[in-house]
């Protein structure tokens, strides 16, 4: 396995021009994804998780969107300066994507088999007949029963869980190096969710592909991730191996997310500790640390200066002044929500 990241994002900044001013949706995001590994990107809605990967894929409309700084390299190749034609060759072929809502991501007027075959015809040069044969094989691989018959059906004839399997089949059609899964289990019940996640892990083991998993569900993170990037207000505030984040989390926001999660192993009747307040207005992000208006441990320095990225342990960083050598030591230990890789 290579020590070179499959995807390396550095200091990515994205903003959107609106009538009310510029929205700074992504502010200096950096992370890396390695071969055969899963990076989970976690955070509340609106923190910039999806905008970051859509920018990497060239899917944000420009204008109003604009990349103001940063780099995103796939196997050393810069993505942000590619033309639309060059990006079209990469999307689907080298980077696959599973969108949050499969019903709106599929063409309702085309049969499922034809939609998968279209990707194979465009990116792998197959004939339509070869594409349909491969489409049926992919549907069978994703455990859709009676794949040959299902390939002749339309999206409305599938359940939500089956549609998500179709999206996985489409994303795997060209054997991409990187799979981006944007909230792939949000609309599914827990049983189907577990099946879809296990399917993704099984295919990853077989093909050795890398995965970026975007989610707000820490239980999914514990089950799937090797590494975690916690985002807040368009920034990565903590990152590291999954066990480090769950058991030695060092940013108050990370700890707040953990305390807001139910834990069946502890008192089932305990009241969940919600994070007070709301995420900041990204028209005018707060000075200093973006989390300080909601942080129970905010200090004067937090309101004035953005925190540096402190190394907690090898590979584990957190952007919080509480990790400074001269900072006080609040008692903020959080109970882990589950063992990673259970």
Instruction: Summarize pLDDT for 31-50 with one digit per residue, the tens.
Output: 999 998 999 999 888 888 98
Boundary-marking domain end, from 140, 157, 173: 173
Q: In 3-state terms, what secondary structure has residue 136? A: helix
> What is the strand order of the sheet 21-33 is part of?
21-33, 7-18, 65-74, 77-78
Distance in angstroms (rounded) separating the CA atoms of residues 180 and 6: 12
- Domain identity same for 200 and 237: yes
Q: Report d(CA 271, CA 147) in Å as an integer.
A: 46
Q: Are 236 and 278 in contact (CB under 8 A)?
A: no
Average pLDDT over residues 138-158: 89
* pLDDT at residue 72 in the model: 94
Residue range of the domain that includes 106: 102-173
Between the two ends of the chain, the Cα-to-Cα distance in Å is 23
Examine the fold and report which residue of 173, 196, 216 is the final residue of a domain before the chain moves on: 173
> Do 187 and 75 fall within a single domain?
yes
**Please, which residues have CB within 8 angstroms of residue 273's CB and are 6 or more apart in sequence?**
256, 259, 260
Asked if residues 78 and 107 have their Cβ atoms less than 8 Å apart, the reply is: no
pLDDT for the residue 63: 83
Domain's final residue, options 151, 173, 195: 173
163 and 183: one domain? no
Residues 181 and 317 placed together within one structural domain of the fold: yes
Same domain, 180 and 234: yes
Do 197 and 291 belong together in one domain? yes
Residues 152-201 have pLDDT tens digits of: 999 998 888 888 888 888 888 888 889 998 888 776 777 778 888 888 88
Q: Is 307 found in the same domain as 241?
A: yes
Average confidence score pLDDT of the chain? 85
Q: Is 257 helix (H, G, I), strand (E, B) or coil?
A: helix
pLDDT at position 266, please? 57
Backbone angles phi, psi at 288, to 5 degrees: 70, -140
Q: Are residues 81 and 197 in the same domain?
A: yes
Please provide the DSSP assignment of 267-283 as one string.
-TTPPP-PPPS----TT
Q: What does the pLDDT read at residue 232?
A: 92
340: Cα separation from own chain's centroid: 17
Domain count, the chain: 2
Q: Are residues 90 and 26 in the same domain?
A: yes
Q: With 80 as the cut, is the pLDDT of residue 138 above it?
A: yes
Count CB-CB contacts under 10 A for residue 83: 9
């Amino acid at each position: 396995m290579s020590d070179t990241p499959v995807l390396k994002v550095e200091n990515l900044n994205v903003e959107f021009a609106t009538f009310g001013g510029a929205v700074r949706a992504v502010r200096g995001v950096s992370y890396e994804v390695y071969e055969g590994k899963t990076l989970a990107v976690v955070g509340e809605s609106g923190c910039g998780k999806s905008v970051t990967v859509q920018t990497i894929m060239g899917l944000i409309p420009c204008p109003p969107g604009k990349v103001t700084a940063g780099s995103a390299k796939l196997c050393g190749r810069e993505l942000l300066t590619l033309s639309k034609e060059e990006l079209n060759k990469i999307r689907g072929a080298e980077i696959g994507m599973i969108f949050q809502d499969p019903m709106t991501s599929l063409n309702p007027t085309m049969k499922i088999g034809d939609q998968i075959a279209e990707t194979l015809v465009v990116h792998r040069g197959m004939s339509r007949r070869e594409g349909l044969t491969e489409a049926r094989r992919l549907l069978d691989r994703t455990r859709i029963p009676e794949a040959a018959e299902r390939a002749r059906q339309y999206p409305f004839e599938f359940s939500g869980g089956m549609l998500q399997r179709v999206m996985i089949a489409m994303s795997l059609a060209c054997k991409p190096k990187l799979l981006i899964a944007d909230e792939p289990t949000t609309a599914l019940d827990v049983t189907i969710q577990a099946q879809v996640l296990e399917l993704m892990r099984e295919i990853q083991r077989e093909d050795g592909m890398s995965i970026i998993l975007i989610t707000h569900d820490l239980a999914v993170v514990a089950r799937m991730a090797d590494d975690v990037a916690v985002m807040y207000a368009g920034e990565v505030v903590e990152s590291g191996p999954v066990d480090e984040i769950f058991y030695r989390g060092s940013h108050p926001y990370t700890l707040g997310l953990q305390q807001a999660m139910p834990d069946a192993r502890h008192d089932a009747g305990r009241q969940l500790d919600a994070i007070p307040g709301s995420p900041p207005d990204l028209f005018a992000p707060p000075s200093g640390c973006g989390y300080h208006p909601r942080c129970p441990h905010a200090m004067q320095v937090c309101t004035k200066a953005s925190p540096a990225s402190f190394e907690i342990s090898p590979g584990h960083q957190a952007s919080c002044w509480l990790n400074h050598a001269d900072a006080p030591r609040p008692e903020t230990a959080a109970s882990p929500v589950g063992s990673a890789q259970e």
